[in-house]
Amino acid sequence: MDGNAGTSGTRGGGRKRALKQKLESLASAGVSDLPKQRGAKPQRAAAATRIRSLDILREEVAACRLCEPLAKARTHTVFGVGPATARLCFLGEAPGADEDASGEPFVGRAGQLLTKIIESCTLSREEVYILNVLKCRPPDNRRPLPEETANCRGYFEKQLEIIAPEFICCLGTTAAQALLQTDETIGALRKRWFSWKSSQVICTYHPSYLLRNPPAKRDVWDDMKLLMAKLGVQL
């Protein structure tokens, strides 16, 4: 035990003096603004590790040819977008034409609706992570085949494992069934909480379904209220 513990001139006192000197020298060098958050350094290091891991996975995805017909037809693989430390991930089905052209998920009409949903929750698109089950566009926007989902499973699962979000919101049947490995319908999966690794999972209708069936927006809003309450976001 340190015999000086708790008295002035202790290790704590020495640290205080050293800190004071450091702040004075920073101030004389013109630095007046320091991050207030405690433990910001380890958090930044953890974020950098996740960013690096996602970059490596993104490159793997870009080179993937497991589904040769999709690989042959694609303009871009569509990996995902958002902060590596996002608390909330939205998981969709697969890229459409706009996403294949741009390489970014949910940028077409369904994507614009997703952005509106996110903003209605008082969040911004930039603070959530958005990804799909499939990283390549299926022809004519058909549903992913079971073997395509199986080929992409390693990618979307690894991606979610790296981000380790507190919450995952599955958009539509394909995402919900793929992540939760169930054949229950989206209607049966809504309004329930599931666990996936360290994340809590909620399922709602896909924005494309809302474009075809606008009255279901009310149901999605109810699901978002459940999700925001758990996230601690007041609506």
| Interaction site with ligand URA (CB under 6 A) | 92-96, 99, 105-106, 108, 110-111, 132, 208
Measured from the CB of residue 134, what is the shortest distance to ligand URA in angstroms?
8
**By C-beta, is 27 or 97 nearer to ligand URA?**
97
Angstrom distance (rounded) from CA 89 to CA 156: 11
**By C-beta, is 12 or 125 nearer to ligand URA?**
125
**By C-beta, is 143 or 158 nearer to ligand URA?**
143
Measured from the CB of residue 178, what is the shortest distance to ligand URA in angstroms?
11
Select from 170, 163, 174, 172 the least CA-distant residue to 197: 163
Helix (H, G, I), strand (E, B) or coil at 168: strand
Cβ-contact 68, 126 below 8 angstroms? no
Measured from the CB of residue 45, what is the shortest distance to ligand URA in angstroms?
31
Measured from the CB of residue 2, what is the shortest distance to ligand URA in angstroms?
57
Helix (H, G, I), strand (E, B) or coil at 80: coil
Amino acid at 78: V
**By C-beta, is 57 or 178 nearer to ligand URA?**
178
Closest residue to ligand URA, judged by C-beta, is 92
Measured from the CB of residue 85, what is the shortest distance to ligand URA in angstroms?
21
Cβ-contact 223, 213 below 8 angstroms? no
Cβ-contact 54, 162 below 8 angstroms? yes
**By C-beta, is 108 or 165 nearer to ligand URA?**
108
Cβ-contact 194, 180 below 8 angstroms? yes
